[in-house]
Amino acid sequence: MNSWFILIVAGLLEVCWASALKSTAGFTRLWPTLFFGVTLIGSMYLLSVAVKTLPVGTAYAVWVGIGAAGTAIFAMLFHGEAMTVARGVFLSLLIFSIVGLKMTTITAA
């Protein structure tokens, strides 16, 4: 599998676990806590696979960026967080930065 594809899936799993965190109610609710744990482990595992061929600094920045942007967008769509022009601008800059890192990274083997 392509390391970039694996990294994107890892970032999307980060969105899943970060978005599920609130519904765990401090890890007192079984199913949301299990979902959180499984997606967290999957995200970390896939990140570790991706860094076998991608530079760790770039991979980590992209992983965190996907997670941060995705979680913020999820919260605005499903948890009623406000979408302001400023938030939209900064989320766009974050996404632009993620794409820029992808375009300027040389991968091993």
**CA–CA separation, 19 vs 27, rounded Å?**
13
In a structure prediction context, what are the per-residue pLDDT tens digits for the chain, which is 109 residues long?
699 999 999 999 999 999 999 999 999 999 999 999 999 999 999 999 999 999 999 999 999 999 999 999 999 999 999 999 999 999 999 999 999 988 888 765 5
Rg over alpha carbons for the chain, rounded to the nearest Å, is 15
Going from N- to C-terminal start, the domains of the chain cover: 3-103
